[in-house]
Copies of this chain bind each other. A is one copy, B any other.
Amino acid sequence: MSNIKKKPLILVTNDDGITSPGIKALIEVAADHGEVFIVAPDSPQSGQGHAITITEPIRIKEVSIFNNIKAYECSGTPADCVKIAKNVLLKDRTIDLCVSGINHGSNASINIIYSGTMSAAMEASLEGIPSIGFSLTDFSYKADFSGSKKYADQIIQDILSNSNKNGVPLLNVNIPSLAAGEIKGLRVCRQGRGMWVEKFKENQDPRGETYYWLTGEFISDDIKEDTDLWALKNGYVSVVPSQHDLTNYPGLKDYKFLEG
């Protein structure tokens, strides 16, 4: 290799599966910034949260669907993909960045908790790898990724140049469903509060057995200017710096009474 500066090693994964348009868009961006290595689920994993596979084996298979880029499909969850990349496929190398996505659908607000895309990024950051999850607020398979690609390019560049200055980055990036030129810019913001109001669709299967299918509507009373929800609603890319500590710190005092 004649490169003077070593190319960063970038792990790409997602939760929509290795054949989704979103991961293809992200690979195209990542390839401009380093050596790309792909480990992604062999089937869609939406709503997998931070699931890991412990009661059954995981299988991986090398595939050549991205020209000369090394790629494996994996039978596990997004978090499994990161674990197997770090501990098996790339165990002798240092992964400089993990990018996950580009998800078809928003992972803003509380959706980070249900998100396979973000669970991959969270798993990477738990393992000390800087990581970024990208999601486009458009569920369509034919979504326009031009805006996403523009901002993913900029954010990947900035994080690689500033890597670890502020600890191990874990960023939840959501991109509004707008053409690249219509996006107003990027906002670093907090996770807005919100929840899903669920309805289950009840129906009968061909054998006459009842089943329920989850559906619902996202609601929020917290679309303040410092939230990801506000940013997206107002045409900005939202970047929420994230972490894994779920402690309710004021609660340490509030629940002291339990100690009796």
Q: Tell whether, in the assembled complex, residue B198 and residue A87 are in contact, meaning their CB atoms are under 8 Å apart.
A: yes
Chain B residues, Cβ within 8 Å of A258: 154-155, 158, 186, 188, 239
Q: Tell whether, in the assembled complex, residue A214 and residue B54 are in contact, meaning their CB atoms are under 8 Å apart.
A: yes
The answer to whether A221 has its CB under 8 Å from any CB of chain B is no
Chain B residues, Cβ within 8 Å of A49: 48-52, 79, 119
How many monomers of this protein are in the complex?
2
Q: Tell whether, in the assembled complex, residue B57 and residue A191 are in contact, meaning their CB atoms are under 8 Å apart.
A: no
Chain B residues, Cβ within 8 Å of A84: 200, 212
The answer to whether A19 has its CB under 8 Å from any CB of chain B is no
Which of A20-28, A107-115, A142-150 contacts its partner? A107-115
Q: Tell whether, in the assembled complex, residue A87 and residue B51 are in contact, meaning their CB atoms are under 8 Å apart.
A: no
In the complex, per-residue mask of A109-128: 1 if CB is within 8 Å of any chain B CB, else 0: 01011100001001000110
In the complex, per-residue mask of A126-169: 1 if CB is within 8 Å of any chain B CB, else 0: 11000000000000000000000000001100100010011001
